[in-house]
Amino acid sequence: MPLSSPANLICFAHRGASGYEPENTLRSFKRALELGATWIECDIRVVEDELVVFHDRTLGRLTGASGTLANLDLSTLRTLRVNGREPIPLLSEVVELLHNKARLQLELKASGTGERLGRYLTSLLEKGWDTDSFLVSSFDHDELAACKRIAPSIPVGVLLYGYPINTPELARALGAYSVHLNLETVTPKRVNTLHQAGLKVFVYTVNDSADIEAMRAVGVDGVFSDFPDRVLLTNPPKAS
Ligand code: G3P
Ligand code: MG
C-alpha cells in the first residue's frame, strides 16, 4: 500500500480528441467521448453574431481558405472544411452533442465573445443546465470579466501564457475558480501557492506521457491533452 496515492487528474480533451481527429469539430468531440472524456475544451469565436468553434483568427492553417474567420458570413463558413474533411461547428451544435455526456471548457478567443457567451450560457441555465457543466477561460481577461458580469454563477479560469508575479491576486480579482498554466511555467512552489489561495490548477497542453506523470507528481488538478486516453488510462483506479 503506497503511503500516498498518485493524483487522479481531471482531463480536458483539448479541442476534442485533436491528436486523432480534426480539431474543434464534432468528429473530434465524439471521439473524445468514445475515449471516456468527461470534460471537453473548445475555442470560441463569433461569426455574424453566432458563437462558433474555431481556434485560429485566420482560416489558412485549418481550412486552406484565405482571410479571417470574423469576416466570413455564416453560409460561407458552412462550406469550409477543417483538414479538408469536417465542418466548423456552431457552439449550439457542440452543446447539443455533449448534453448530459460531458462538461464544456469554453475558451474565449476573440473580442466580443465574453458578453455573447455570458448571454448564451444564461439562456442554457434558464433551460435547466447546471453551472458546473461549464468552465470559461481566456487569455483575454477583459473578455473573461465580461462573461462573469453577465453570467456570475458560471466558473471562470484565468488562462496564462507566462506567470505574472501577481497571479493569485489577478485570479481573486476575477472571481476565478481556477488558473490554467502553460506546462513550461509549472513549478511545485507555484502550484502550492495557488492551492493555498483556494484555486484549482489546470495545465496545458500535456501530451507526452512523461509530462503527464510529472504533472501528476507535482499535484496539479488537471491537464489539457490532445490525447485524452493517455491521461485517463493512467489515472489510478477509483476505490470501490
Ligand atoms: O485552454 C488551454 C489551451 O487551449 C490554450 O491554448 O492555443 O490551445 O487555445 P490554445
Ligand atoms: Mg484553447
pLDDT digits (tens, 9 = 90+) for 152-201: 999 999 999 999 999 999 999 999 999 999 999 999 999 999 999 999 99
Q: 236 pLDDT band (50/70/90 cuts)?
A: confident
Residue 1 has pLDDT above 60, yes or no: no
Average pLDDT over residues 70-99: 98
Question: Cα(195)–Cα(188) distance, rounded to whole angstroms?
Answer: 10
Q: Which residue from 225, 192, 226 is spatially nearest to 10, judged by alpha carbons?
A: 225
Q: 3 pLDDT band (50/70/90 cuts)?
A: very low
Which residues line ion ligand 2, judged by CB < 5 Å? 43, 107
Report how far ligand 1's centroid is from the alpha carbon of 148 (Å): 20
Q: Is-contact 154 121, C-beta < 8 A? A: yes
Report how far ligand 1's centroid is from the alpha carbon of 110 (Å): 13
Question: Cα(45)–Cα(56) distance, rounded to whole angstroms?
Answer: 9
Percent of the chain with pLDDT over 70: 97
| Nearest ligand 1 atom, CA 139 | 5
Out of 15, 54, 56, 205, mutate this one to test ligand 1's pocket (max ligand atoms within 8 Å of CB): namely 205
C-alpha cell of 204? 496545458
- Where does ligand 1 bind, in terms of residues with CB under 6 Å? 14, 41, 43, 55, 107, 137, 159, 180, 204-205, 224
User: Would you state the pLDDT for residue 211?
Assistant: 98
Q: What does the pLDDT look like over 87-146, one tens digit per residue?
A: 999 999 999 999 999 999 999 999 999 999 999 999 999 999 999 999 999 999 999 999
C-alpha cell of 165? 508575479
| Nearest ligand 1 atom, CA 55 | 9
Question: Cα(139)–Cα(214) distance, rounded to whole angstroms?
Answer: 24
Q: Whose alpha carbon is nearest atom 7 of ligand 1?
A: 55
| 170-198 as b/e: b if 16+ CB within 10 A | ebeebebbbbbbebeebeeebbeebeeee
| Nearest ligand 1 atom, CA 105 | 1
Average pLDDT taken over every residue of the chain: 96
Biggest distance spanned by C-alpha atoms of the chain? 60
Query: Which amino acid would we find at residue 109?
Result: K
User: Would you state the pLDDT for residue 238?
Assistant: 72
User: What DSSP string describes 9-75?
Assistant: PEEEEETTTTTTS-TTSHHHHHHHHHTT-SEEEEEEEEETTEEEE-S-SBSHHHHS--SBGGG--HH
The full length of the chain comes to 240
Q: Whose alpha carbon is nearest atom 3 of ligand 1?
A: 204
User: Would you state the pLDDT for residue 7?
Assistant: 78
| Nearest ligand 1 atom, CA 204 | 2
Average pLDDT over residues 27-34: 98
Report how far ligand 1's centroid is from the alpha carbon of 3 (Å): 35
Q: Whose alpha carbon is nearest atom 4 of ligand 1?
A: 14
Q: Whose alpha carbon is nearest atom 2 of ligand 1?
A: 204
Q: 2 pLDDT band (50/70/90 cuts)?
A: very low
User: Would you state the pLDDT for residue 42?
Assistant: 99
Residue 4 has pLDDT above 60, yes or no: no
C-alpha triplet 186, 55, 174: angle, nearest 5°? 55
Percent of the chain with pLDDT over 90: 95
Q: What domains can you pick out in the chain, each with its CATH number?
A: 10-234 (3.20.20.190)
